[in-house]
């Protein structure tokens, strides 16, 4: 299906990626470290029929999550009807009281959603996680595909696959659809952010200006970009790549040096669009994940097309008893952690570690979810010229503006450790291109 010369180019492609700065930065123990994000040349291949099913399920899921965010910051009907417990909503670390009563343009909160899936060995796709705050990763398969095309054009001439170069167009359309009038900017915290390469690449591809907080100013009730000469332009949409708490020091964390004073006030008045909306963490909390199938039934009156991994909430007594009785076969996740951190496989714990963890679970049941360990499929990667199987997931990108669309590509991440299920780049994983066949 793909030419041998594509295999031969893997080293050259990774060298080019390094020259372009396709790296992933990690903050740990107050130290910033950059590392290459290794690319494997064997693509993940998804058939047209399979992707159509994924597409329908992803649109359904993201539409329900957007309706949930609109509801909990507005009428709160899902709480009154007892579908999601009130305590569960307001104790989420991602819930922001400052967002109460704010409905962004088109009622869209999550404009760019990164939905993580795995495919079980039985062929069933499972949703592992919803990322609705500042999901990253689309730029990596974009640039890798471009380099692969240059290296082996025959591969792409002979195979019928969807062109993934339209992501920038989809992103621009999304920004256009919610803009309050003015230019588009991509707000980055700067060179030492973990995904700075992506910020600069997407700005280049979409024609948006790449800016930092010092280049944006609030004047009156509007937001302006001010260049080095002092010339100002009104900003209509900000694709912000900084977390909620650092966005506006006058409304959130007062110690933030990378945010823009009063930008949240401009947003509240509807004079600028923020992509993604502040407060989205209330819907991608790993505990809230448990309720997404219920949201789909509640808001859309539909059965979920895509399944959650079998999940238990120790918050509920019945689920807590199940977790205690079947502890050794479960994976436990801290709802406040991300990037593969806070994930514990019970079977790998020592007796002492189990005792400590179970005591913590009794004290803070809202802090954790428990899931069945899915035996998800292995994908081959090249290791010293030989294909070897490794665990891999898929981050699908769903863009919501005037309508909801799924990018016909995605970021396939894999573990380089043969004994690990954790594929995150921050944990040393690599990535592949994702081929969606067009016929």
pLDDT tens digits, 358-398: 999 989 988 999 999 888 889 999 888 889 999 999 999 99
d(CA 317, CA 319): 5
What's the pLDDT score for residue 216? 97
pTM (two decimals): 0.93
The model's confidence at residue 5, banded by pLDDT at 50, 70 and 90, is confident
Asked if the model's pLDDT at residue 123 lies above 80, the reply is yes
Classified as helix, coil or strand, 386 is strand
Asked if the model's pLDDT at residue 229 lies above 60, the reply is yes
- Say if CB 138 and CB 286 are below 8 A apart: no
Is the peptide bond between 273 and the residue preceding it cis, with omega within 30 degrees of 0? Answer: no
Asked if the model's pLDDT at residue 26 lies above 80, the reply is no
Give per-residue pLDDT as tens, 325-367.
999 999 999 987 766 677 889 998 999 999 999 999 989 988 9
What's the pLDDT score for residue 3? 58
Kindly report the average pLDDT of the chain as a whole number: 92
Classified as helix, coil or strand, 394 is strand
Which candidate, 189, 182, 113, 9, places its Cα nearest to that of 396?
A: 113
> 212: number of CA atoms within 13 Å, CB side?
11
What's the pLDDT score for residue 340? 66
Asked if the model's pLDDT at residue 183 lies above 90, the reply is yes
What's the pLDDT score for residue 422? 64
Going along 135-182, which residue ranges are E strands? none
Average pLDDT score over residue span 39-56: 96
Asked if the model's pLDDT at residue 2 lies above 60, the reply is no
Which candidate, 186, 185, 205, places its Cα nearest to that of 141?
A: 205
């Amino acid at each position: 299906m793909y030419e041998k010369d594509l295999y031969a180019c893997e080293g050259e492609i990774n060298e080019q990626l390094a020259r372009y700065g396709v790296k992933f930065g990690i903050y740990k123990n107050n130290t910033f470290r950059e590392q290459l994000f290794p690319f494997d040349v064997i693509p993940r291949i998804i058939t047209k029929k399979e992707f159509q099913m994924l597409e329908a399920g992803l649109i359904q899921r993201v539409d329900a999550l957007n309706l949930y965010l609109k509801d909990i910051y507005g009428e709160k009907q899902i709480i009154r009807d007892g579908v999601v417990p009130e305590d569960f909503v307001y104790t989420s670390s991602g819930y922001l009281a400052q967002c109460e009563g704010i409905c962004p343009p088109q009622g869209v909160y999550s404009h760019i959603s990164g939905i993580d899936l795995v495919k079980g060995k039985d062929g069933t796709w499972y949703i592992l996680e919803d990322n609705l705050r500042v999901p990253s990763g689309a730029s990596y398969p974009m640039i890798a595909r471009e380099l692969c095309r240059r290296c082996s054009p025959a591969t792409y001439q002979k195979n019928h696959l969807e062109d993934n170069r339209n992501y920038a167009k989809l992103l621009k359309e999304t920004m256009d659809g919610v803009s309050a009038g003015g230019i588009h900017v991509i707000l980055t915290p700067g060179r030492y952010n973990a995904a700075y390469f992506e910020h600069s690449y997407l700005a280049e591809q979409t024609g948006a200006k790449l800016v930092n907080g010092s280049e944006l100013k609030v004047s009156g009730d509007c937001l302006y970009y001010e260049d080095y000469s002092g010339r100002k332009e009104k900003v209509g949409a900000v694709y912000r790549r900084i977390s909620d708490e650092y966005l506006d020091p006058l409304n959130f964390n007062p110690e933030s040096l990378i945010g823009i004073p009063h930008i949240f006030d401009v947003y509240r008045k509807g004079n600028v669009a923020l992509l993604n909306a502040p407060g989205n963490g209330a819907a991608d909390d790993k505990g809230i994940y448990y309720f997404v199938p219920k949201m789909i039934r509640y808001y859309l009156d539909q059965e979920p097309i895509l399944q959650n991994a079998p999940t238990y909430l120790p918050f509920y007594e019945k689920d807590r008893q199940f977790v205690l009785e079947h502890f050794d076969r479960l994976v436990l996740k801290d709802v406040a952690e991300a990037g593969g951190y806070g994930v514990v496989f019970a079977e790998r714990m020592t007796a002492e570690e189990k005792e400590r963890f179970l005591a913590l679970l009794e004290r803070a049941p809202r802090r954790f979810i428990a899931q069945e360990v899915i035996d998800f499929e292995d994908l081959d990667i090249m290791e010293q010229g030989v294909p070897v199987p490794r665990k891999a997931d898929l981050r699908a990108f769903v863009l919501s503006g005037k309508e909801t669309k799924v990018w016909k590509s995605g970021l396939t991440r894999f573990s380089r450790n043969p004994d690990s299920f954790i594929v995150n780049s921050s944990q040393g994983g690599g990535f592949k291109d994702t081929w969606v066949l067009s016929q």
